[in-house]
Structure 1
Amino acid sequence: MESASPSSDRRPRAPIASPSHFPSSDRRPAPTLIHRLPISLPRHRRPRPPTISKGHKNYDLMLNLQLGIRYSVGKPASMQMRDLRPADFDPREKFWTRFPPEGSKITPPHQSVEFRWKDYCPMVFRHLRKLFSVDPADYMVAICGDDALRELSSPGKSGSFFYLTQDDRFMIKTVKKSEVKTNRVDKNER
């Protein structure tokens, strides 16, 4: 059985540039032969993060995020858009809403545990969505629609969780109270 060397199967390739391309007065060294790479290279694809389903340890957290975001994004629709003020950027500019499972006057009933939703700087985030041409309806459908969110692998050092929408357009990061306080201190030191 004969063994062929890998180079014997290849066609000879022409150099990208030859000495005849340069004027005779130009004393550049002759270019070396450069092999061209194939046009289509196989790409390494990462596996898609798993979709969170009932029974997952963070299933209730995902439902709470979806309910809170739906509430937060839908609420400003009734408020008129206005210019931002410096006070809108203050982390103390937040609104608490209680979400009991049976619902309330302002929240819908849901299948999750009771939770409190803290909405930081809602007017700022509304302006950011508008600035980046994010349609509120598309945003809510992507995050809060029938499709569950996907959780990225293990949380980082901060203990935060990252979630992706099924269409990969939006990412959500949970933030621990200690991180909010640190960011507030950093901002005040500037």
Structure 2
Amino acid sequence: MSVGLIIGIVVIVLVIAIIIWAIGAYNNLVTLRNRVKNGWAQIDVQLKQRADLIPNLVATVKGYAAHENAVLSQVTAARAGAVAAATDPNGTTAQRAEAENQLSRALLNLQATAEAYPALQANQNFMDLQGQLKDLENKIAYARQFYNDVVLKLNTAIETVPTNIIAGLFHFEQAQYFEADEPARQAPRVAF
């Protein structure tokens, strides 16, 4: 065997190894991007269920606390904003997160207002709706955590060497985290 033939075989093996690695890196990035989309779809399902539950909750509270129109209007407006953000084809994750955070704050205010009405707290329908809302909030929190974990993996793969080369060649973009804003993390103040 000549030296030229050996060098040729080594070069061919190296090229094949690089091609196999590039295919693997590309497939990994596609998988992560699809997981991000799936994670967002799971959040979307839970948020839709929450939005569908809110009119029943507002109607129940309205029966007991009719003079709390400001709070009820706030919840209704926040729900409308969240539904509009969900259906906006040009909306971003950040815009959707902000609309959902506003809805979460409005729901916290509604729940705090409901505490002032013992008869409402004893109403079985209200208690059932509260339980369903609590379950949905837990599911939303889990779905957000899953989504943000997958976003972290995708963004890390896009930024790290050597997969950043493949990500740049095929125009993979970083995904946005779904974060609660600071006011949504704080408990509402209740004053009577």
- For this structure pair, what is the TM-score category when the shorter chain's length is used for normalisation? under 0.3
Q: TM-score, normalised by structure 2?
A: 0.22
Structure that is richer in strand per residue: 1
Structure that is richer in helix per residue: 2
Greater Rg over alpha carbons, structure: 1
Q: Which has the higher contact order (CA 8 A, sep 6+)?
A: 2
